[in-house]
Structure 1
Amino acid sequence: MKIVIFNPQSSFSSELQKKLSSLGKVTYTKTREELPLQKLLEMAKGSDIIGVDPDPLGGFEKAKEKLTKIMESVPNLKGVCLSSTSFGWVDLVWCKKHKIPVSNVPGYSKESVAEQSIAFLLGSAKRIFISDRRTQKGKYELMRGFELKGKTLGVIGLGNIGSRVAELGIGIGMNVIAYNRSPKKMKGVKMVSLNQLLKESDAISLNTTHEESNNNMIGKAEIAKMKKGVIIVNTVDRELVDENAMAQALKSRKVDTYVYEGEDLVHTPLAKLEMR
């Protein structure tokens, strides 16, 4: 069996390397940096299994198109293994049509992502990010933030990471409510409908798995239901949010702060907004 991994060997422990080697011949990329598509196609030629990280493909926003081209070039492909929790950067419709199983890492960086979500929330509430930007420009201004204790945190998606975000939210004294697509219970967390969460939350953390079916799940209609001055933290995927609607909400201050992750910070209506 030929296994090609778009990730350097150094990313794997010696134990994992041994396990992979026991399955067949394994080829790794030499770096996590973006590689030309032609190089990726050459590496994938004749492979049975592809293990893939988005970085060598140019990041999440380029990975989907490149990965599809790679899979199309491998006639005997038996499976694709992702190094992420999200399936959002894979053409699952194509994979299903061609009967290619795709696996992910459900608990990947659970603590790290959850802590980052809370850090973004604290940084927004305490005006750390905007104060830093203004101070760097020599525009010091005393800014008043607000306490999160007693405020309501709405967690959308109560999986491994979302559950940990909820725990950390409880730890800093927030009232935590959550929405999950499938029924779920968690101590200290009130399960509500998505509509109720949007209406009651002072801060919202997006932790649901991204799929094409929930693209723009936060749009103009959803934002209209939210409290004025809500903070939204999105550590999942930009496609969960309608960025045109979000830009308008930030301009009107319906949304106080929106934190998102993405490599392309130019081709988005959010890039045109000035820090206030």
Structure 2
Amino acid sequence: MNYRETQPERTDLPLVVIPSMFAAMAQPLATGMRILRNVARVRTYHDFNIEPETILERCKDADIVVVIGFHVTGDLLERLGSHVRCFVFGGTGVANFIDLKRTRELGIRVCNTVHYGDETVAEYTFALIFELARSVGAMDRGIREGNWSGLEGTSLKDKTIGLIGFGGIGQTVARIAYGFGMHTLVWNSHVNAATARSLGATRIESIGELMAHSDIVSVHLPLNDETRAVITADDLDQLKSGSYFINTARAEVIEPGALAARLDRGDIKAAIDVYDKEPLPADDPLRSTPHTVLTPHVAWRADDAYRDLSRQMARSILAFCNGERFNVVE
């Protein structure tokens, strides 16, 4: 048996299946799901396996499915939709993982999780910025290979950071940037003027204008119909030589192929944590573009985020079982 199930004898209770998970989430999930005792059985698989046939087999008896890292679209949704009545997504950007139009048609509830990674992703954004500015990882590799020459760095003080997106993560990045003595520009379809002022941020009317005036550009947009490909090749052309581009949000908010083409010019640096296809294919052009730092979609993966994520998922399940609503995607 490669799973653990709470209250297996309670076959009168609805079955929650967590078919795939990261090892580090095991304890936070176990703790969070305790509120479901005598409400639902919870069957947890403790490996990260997102093969569609595996997901289908593991979820064949499920009433509620927790979605971590796999996509619920097409054939997978049609086959699960005959018995699953609720999907609880372990992350944000649910539209990139679950076909919301089809789940609505099938009458299946979808729940999101919100703001669990605001601090975690913002902190990771600065980890990436520092790697571009100070090359700590590169120098570590160099010294292990016998290279003591080191590399030159760039100070962040008085630099301008442009934020595309100004929700919880973007605002947290602005707060950190303010502490470093940076200037902040923001573009977002809805920017609260008072919030921007309190964080020392200035609203910019267009993405291209923001890029033209920023030393560092960081993306913090959710993926939806309005934001898909909202950052165009023309926008990226406005990036100044020597500037940095950071994306810890979603790759699909950028026009397909535009970022790799801009990086091929070799005059900017980029740090990227999200991709059109994940895992990143061996032949993806980003693997060979110059001056890039690539990480495997891990900005959100930290202890506090796991705990908050688990609590929210458990609350969504509890609400569904009790005929209530929590974090329901409309």
**What is the TM-score with the length of structure 1 in the denominator?**
0.84
Residue 126 in structure 1 maps to residue 134 in structure 2: yes
Are residues 1:250 and 2:257 paired? no
Task: Check if 1:12 corresponds to 2:29.
Answer: yes
Amino acid corresponding to residue 27 of structure 2 in structure 1: S
TM-score normalised to structure 2 length:
0.71
**Is the aligned partner of 1:71 residue 2:87?**
no
Task: Find 2:186's aligned residue among 161, 178, 189.
Answer: 178
Any unmatched runs of 5+ in structure 1? 55-62
The answer on 1:110 being equivalent to 2:118 is: yes
Aligned to 1:146: 154
Of 231, 243, 246, 1:230 maps to: 243
Distance 1:244 1:5, change over 3 A: same
CA distance in structure 1 between the partners assigned to 2:284 and 2:164 by the alignment? 24
What is the alpha-carbon distance in structure 1 between the residues aligned to residue 89 and residue 115 of structure 2? 12
Establish whether residue 194 from structure 1 lines up as the match of residue 206 from structure 2.
yes
Report the CA distance between 1:160 and its aligned residue: 1.5
Q: CA deviation at 1:217?
A: 2.8
- Match of 2:92, as an amino acid? T
Quickly say closer, same or farther: Cα 1:48–1:21, change in 2 above 3 A.
same
Residue from 37, 49, 56 that aligns with 1:41: 56
CA contact (8 A) 1:68 1:90 kept: no
| SS of equivalent to 1:271 | helix
- Following superposition, the deviation at residue 265 of structure 1 comes to 4.9
> For residues 136 and 283 of structure 2, what CA distance do their matches in structure 1 show?
26
Aligned AA (1:261):
V
Structure 1 residues 253 and 161: alpha-carbon distance in aligned structure 2, compared to 1, 3 A threshold: same
Higher relative contact order (CA 8 A, sep 6+): 2
Could you say which residue in structure 1 is the equivalent of 2:313? none
Contact 1:218/1:240 (CA < 8 Å) preserved in 2? yes
1:146 Cα deviation (Å)?
A: 1.5
**Alignment partner of 1:101 is 2:109:** yes
Select which of 36, 40, 51 maps to 1:24.
Answer: 40
Instruction: Give 3-state SS (helix, strand or coil) of 2:49's partner.
Output: coil
SS of alignment partner, residue 201 of structure 1: coil
Residue matched to 1:269: 285
What amino acid is the match of 1:102? V
Task: Give percent identity, aligned residues only.
Answer: 23
Instruction: Measure, in 2, the Cα distance between the counterparts of 1:160 and 1:50.
Output: 27
Q: 1:241 to 1:141 in 2, by over 3 A?
A: farther
The equivalent of 1:57 in structure 2 is none
Conserved 8 A contact 1:106-1:160: no
Which residue identity does 2:79 align to in structure 1?
A: S
Say what the alpha-carbon RMSD is for the aligned residues. 2.6
* 1:209-237 per-position Cα deviation (integer Å, ceiling 9, x unaligned): 12354333333111112222221111122
**In 1, distance between residues paired with 2:283 and 2:107?**
34
Q: Indicate how the Cα distance of structure 1 residues 134 and 96 shifts in structure 2: closer, same or farther if over 3 A, else same.
A: farther
What is the CA distance between 1:268 and its match in structure 2? 1.4
Cα distance in structure 1, aligned partners of 2:256 and 2:132:
19
SS of the residue corresponding to residue 163 of structure 1 reads helix
Secondary structure, counterpart of 1:73 in structure 2? helix
Is it true that 1:86 corresponds to 2:93 in the alignment? yes
CA distance in 2, matches of 1:146, 1:50: 46
Count of aligned positions: 265
Moved more, 170-179 or 76-85: 76-85
Structure 1 residues 189-198 or 231-240, which shifts more? 189-198
The whole-number CA distance in structure 1 between the counterparts of 2:264 and 2:135 is: 17
The offset of 1:114, in angstroms, is: 0.9
Deviation at 1:105, TM superposition (A): 1.2
User: Quick check: 32-41 or 73-82, which moved more?
Assistant: 32-41
Runs of 4 or more consecutive aligned structure 1 residues displaced over 6 Å after TM superposition:
none
Shift of 1:170: 0.8
Compute the displacement of 1:72 (Å): 1.5
